[in-house]
């Protein structure tokens, strides 16, 4: 893939910044800053300082590192990170090249800092698991196997039911080594330790010169003593921390969810978050024949495993996380106070239940769902009413309506609709079964598609999105507040773009709790900006001169006529959805459609006269 950006960060293989194809020599921490901003987005200075240094002089060190970056890159036309800029943003001149290649992502940055290494391993696990064209965990197993030089220690972190033992067994099979649990056996083998760790484990690991030690560790709670001792006493070049990712959607769809319809499989995947143990329990509870209808059950084994982990919290913090579970998505400061959770944020963050990245949120959406489903109906109703009152005070009308609905209270939808306009009002009206307000019906024009044309991918953005050639997959959860998707430069001639595939949408109220969760949006930037919102239940029509509304069905199939050399952006802000689509561009053939020249009905985008 090519790009016009003068600076390129190479995601796979050795970490490096290239300028017009040549590597720019940077300090490792300078590179780490650029990669973190590229993958995480705008970040406050204090977050970066703690991540990279974590001591009293961290802020000063960050200023020095930003100055060094400026000194090296200014002669090349790179100007960024102005004094006082906060949060820091990746400059527009820098492009993150995600093209998969040999090796692991961001190689060479493992020793930047302990905290950065933990973040790096999490990113690697996700990137390797979701890399297109390969089975997620299979690829991760092979990548790790290729990196290991015995003796070696692998800290394998994961949530309950994440399949850590199976992963370690697959690694042993790939390496051709016996798999041994506990301290038994010697020589070249994969030794697997689970909690509680046996006495004498540290001494055996430090003394071993031939084996691979895989130490299981929970993603929740603070690091056990054995992990801390390994961090301080084991050679860092012979040790890795892996945060075992969930099964990717493609991986789950190909194996455990293969017998199901798309909609059934998507429901089960979203409920489990791709956690293999949760998936297995849900499938065991599903009927042998027919669709899974109604609310998916909460497997008691999954509930017990999570509650056992939560017992490591104080009683007050455990009750706070239960109260917070009634709200999907970011947790406002007001809501944290209303649900009496503010005093326990430090404990919940330190032990891995909550994350702060500009907003507080659950670290794992499927765990939030388990807590929520475990609540007694009376307590659940009470917490929803408290949340509704808080959001009413904050003027967040959609969130208020959501919690009133789940509390079983009457909602004045007319009042709520008055606070909405544009596509969000149309989507909520459709969800309520009210007539739409589009200006006119959207007309289509018969056109004949020819050979396929190339689209230049300009950028990808946001989390929960993967692309492989024509195929685009979004797995959206409430924890993802920002949009995700892809942007292309269309061909030099006008063309037909074909968008088709399957969609499963669980957006609350049709617009999400935020009121901004548009399931799928097409934006065309030429001489003007045209937007197409694909929404559940709406009638096709123009909302205004530049905004087209189209129904979003489970089976999606649309053709669009696009102007030449336009930019096309395809994005989703859905709060709970799986979109598995294909997109392609085709030449427009001239002449009259006939039997040998089948036509398609295409929506015309990009010229003002067709909008009236």
DSSP 65-77: HHHHHHHHHGGGT
- 360: number of Cβ within 10 Å: 20
- pLDDT reported for residue 5: 61
- pLDDT reported for residue 101: 64
Report whether 328 contacts 366 (CB < 8 A): no
Residue 135 banded pLDDT, cuts 50, 70, 90: very low
- pLDDT top residue among 606 and 500: 500
Q: How far apart are CA 172 and CA 145, in angstroms?
A: 9
3 state DSSP class of 42? coil
pLDDT in tens, 372-401: 999 999 999 999 999 999 999 999 999 999
- pLDDT reported for residue 100: 63
What is the residue-averaged pLDDT of the chain?
Answer: 87
Q: How far apart are CA 269 and CA 539, in angstroms?
A: 29
Residue 134 banded pLDDT, cuts 50, 70, 90: very low
Structure tokens given for 385: 């009413």
Q: Choose the weakest-confidence range: 106-110, 153-157, 322-326, 583-587.
A: 106-110
- pLDDT reported for residue 291: 47
DSSP labels, 50-113: HHHT-STTHHHHHHHHHHHHHHHHGGGT-----TT--SB---TTEEEE----SS-BTBT-TTS-
pLDDT in tens, 246-283: 888 988 998 889 999 999 999 999 999 999 999 999 99
Distance, CA of 272 to chain centre: 15
- pLDDT reported for residue 289: 39
Q: Residue 412: is it exposed, middle or buried by C-beta count within 10 angstroms (0-12/13-18/19+)?
A: exposed
555-562 vs 600-604, strand pairing mode: parallel
Q: Residue 503: is it exposed, middle or buried by C-beta count within 10 angstroms (0-12/13-18/19+)?
A: buried
Report whether 514 contacts 399 (CB < 8 A): yes
Give the dihedral sign, CA 590/594/600/603: positive
- pLDDT reported for residue 225: 92
Q: Residue 551: is it exposed, middle or buried by C-beta count within 10 angstroms (0-12/13-18/19+)?
A: middle
- 564: number of Cβ within 10 Å: 12
pLDDT in tens, 64-73: 988 888 888 8
Cα–Cα distances (Å) from 254 to 129, 251, 273, in that order, read 14, 5, 16
Q: Is the pLDDT of residue 583 over 90?
A: yes
Cα–Cα distances (Å) from 358 to 42, 43, 137, 355, 397, in that order, read 9, 8, 30, 9, 22
Q: How far apart are CA 206 and CA 507, in angstroms?
A: 51
Residue 609 banded pLDDT, cuts 50, 70, 90: very low
Residue 304 banded pLDDT, cuts 50, 70, 90: very high
What length does the chain have?
612
When pLDDT is averaged across residues 118-147 and rounded to a whole number, the result is 71
The reported pTM is 0.80
For the chain, report the end-to-end CA distance as a whole number of angstroms.
38
pLDDT in tens, 528-565: 889 999 999 998 988 888 899 999 999 999 999 999 88
Q: How far apart are CA 485 and CA 534, in angstroms?
A: 15
Kindly list the structural domains of the chain, giving each domain's residue range(s) and its CATH number in brackets, ordered by start: 7-103 (1.10.10.10), 116-243 (3.40.50.300), 377-419 (no CATH), 445-611 (2.60.120)
Structure tokens given for 483: 């949009």
pLDDT in tens, 451-488: 999 888 887 888 788 887 889 999 999 988 889 999 99
**Residue 296 DSSP symbol:** P
- pLDDT reported for residue 414: 85
Among residues of the chain, what percentage have pLDDT more than 90? 50
Residue 233 banded pLDDT, cuts 50, 70, 90: confident
Q: How far apart are CA 177 and CA 218, in angstroms?
A: 25
Own/partner pairs, 292-296, CB within 8 angstroms, 24+ separation? 292/264, 292/267, 292/268, 296/267, 296/268, 296/271
Residue 1 banded pLDDT, cuts 50, 70, 90: very low
Closest CA to 32 of 57, 54, 15, 50: 15
pLDDT in tens, 338-372: 999 999 999 999 999 998 877 899 989 999 999 99
471-476 vs 465-468, strand pairing mode: antiparallel
- pLDDT reported for residue 129: 54
pLDDT in tens, 314-332: 999 999 999 999 999 899 9
Sheet holding 22-24, edge to edge: 22-24, 16-19, 7-10, 94-97
471-476 vs 577-589, strand pairing mode: antiparallel
pLDDT in tens, 152-208: 999 998 899 899 999 999 999 999 999 999 998 888 999 999 999 999 999 999 999
CA-angle at 422, arms to 416 and 423, nearest 5°: 95
Q: How far apart are CA 584 and CA 499, in angstroms?
A: 7
- 373: number of Cβ within 10 Å: 16
547-551 vs 529-535, strand pairing mode: parallel
Q: How far apart are CA 287 and CA 166, in angstroms?
A: 26
Cα–Cα distances (Å) from 30 to 37, 66, 117, 529, 558, in that order, read 11, 7, 15, 37, 45
- pLDDT reported for residue 248: 86
Does the bond joining 87 to the residue before it have cis omega, within 30 degrees of 0?
yes
pLDDT in tens, 408-436: 998 788 888 888 888 999 999 999 988 76
- pLDDT reported for residue 286: 62
Closest CA to 327 of 235, 260, 394: 394
Closest CA to 500 of 574, 553, 539: 553
Cα–Cα distances (Å) from 579 to 17, 292, 434, 466, 553, in that order, read 33, 20, 26, 11, 11
pLDDT in tens, 19-48: 877 888 888 999 999 999 988 888 888 889
Residue 91 banded pLDDT, cuts 50, 70, 90: confident
Q: How far apart are CA 551 and CA 568, in angstroms?
A: 20
């Amino acid at each position: 893939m090519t790009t016009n950006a003068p600076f390129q960060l190479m995601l796979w293989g050795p970490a490096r910044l290239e300028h017009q194809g040549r590597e720019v020599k940077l300090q490792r921490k300078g590179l780490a800053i650029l990669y973190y901003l590229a993958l995480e987005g705008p970040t406050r200075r204090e977050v970066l300082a703690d991540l990279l240094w974590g001591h009293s002089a961290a802020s000063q060190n960050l200023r020095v590192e930003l100055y060094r970056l400026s000194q090296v890159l200014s002669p090349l036309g790179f100007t960024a990170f102005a004094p006082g800029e906060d949060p820091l943003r990746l400059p527009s001149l820098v492009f993150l090249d995600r093209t998969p290649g040999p090796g692991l992502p961001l190689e060479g940055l493992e020793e930047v800092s302990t905290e950065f290494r933990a973040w790096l391993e999490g990113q690697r696990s996700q990137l390797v698991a979701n890399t297109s064209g390969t089975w997620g965990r299979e690829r991760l197993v092979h990548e790790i196997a290729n990196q290991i030089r015995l003796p070696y220690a692998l800290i394998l972190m994961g949530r309950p039911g994440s399949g850590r033992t199976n992963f370690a067994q697959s690694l042993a099979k790939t390496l051709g080594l016996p798999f041994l649990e506990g301290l038994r056996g010697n020589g070249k083998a994969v030794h697997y330790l689970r909690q509680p760790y046996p006495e004498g484990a540290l001494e055996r690991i430090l003394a071993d010169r031939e084996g691979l030690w895989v130490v299981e560790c929970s993603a929740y709670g603070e690091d056990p003593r054995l992990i801390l001792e390994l961090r301080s006493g084991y050679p860092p070049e012979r040790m890795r921390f892996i945060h075992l990712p969930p099964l990717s959607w493609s991986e789950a769809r190909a194996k455990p969810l293969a017998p199901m319809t798309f909609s059934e499989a998507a429901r089960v995947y979203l409920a489990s978050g791709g956690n293999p143990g949760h998936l297995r329990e849900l499938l065991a509870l599903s009927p042998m024949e027919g669709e899974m209808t109604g609310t998916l059950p909460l497997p008691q084994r999954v509930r017990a495993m999570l509650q056992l982990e939560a017992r490591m919290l104080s009683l007050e913090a455990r009750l706070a996380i239960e109260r917070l579970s009634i709200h999907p998505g970011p947790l406002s400061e007001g809501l944290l106070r209303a649900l009496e959770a503010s005093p326990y944020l430090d404990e919940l963050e330190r032990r891995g239940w909550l994350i702060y990245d500009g907003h507080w949120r659950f670290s794992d959406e499927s765990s939030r769902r388990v807590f929520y489903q475990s609540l007694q109906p009376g307590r659940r109703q009470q917490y929803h009413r408290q949340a509704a009152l808080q959001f009413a005070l904050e003027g967040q009308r959609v969130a208020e309506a959501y919690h009133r609905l789940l509390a079983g209270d009457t909602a004045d939808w007319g009042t709520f609709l008055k606070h909405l306009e544009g596509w969000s009002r149309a989507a909520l009206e459709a969800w309520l079964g009210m007539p739409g307000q589009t200006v006119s019906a959207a007309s289509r024009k018969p056109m004949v598609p020819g050979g396929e044309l190339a689209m230049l991918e300009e950028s990808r953005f946001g989390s929960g999105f993967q692309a492989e050639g024509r195929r685009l997959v979004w797995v959206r959860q409430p924890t993802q507040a920002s949009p995700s998707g892809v942007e292309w430069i269309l061909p030099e001639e006008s063309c037909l773009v074909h968008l088709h595939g399957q969609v499963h949408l669980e957006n609350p109220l049709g617009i999400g709790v935020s009121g901004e969760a548009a399931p799928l949006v097409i934006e065309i930037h030429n001489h003007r900006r045209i937007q197409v919102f694909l929404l559940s239940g709406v009638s096709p029509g123009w909302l205004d001169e530049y905004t087209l509304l189209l129904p979003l069905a489970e089976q999606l199939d649309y053709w669009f006529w696009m102007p030449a050399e336009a930019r096309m952006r395809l994005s989703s802000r859905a709060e709970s959805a799986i979109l598995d689509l294909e997109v392609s561009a085709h030449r427009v053939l001239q002449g009259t459609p006939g039997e040998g020249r089948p036509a398609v009905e295409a929506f015309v985008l990009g010229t003002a006269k067709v909008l009236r």
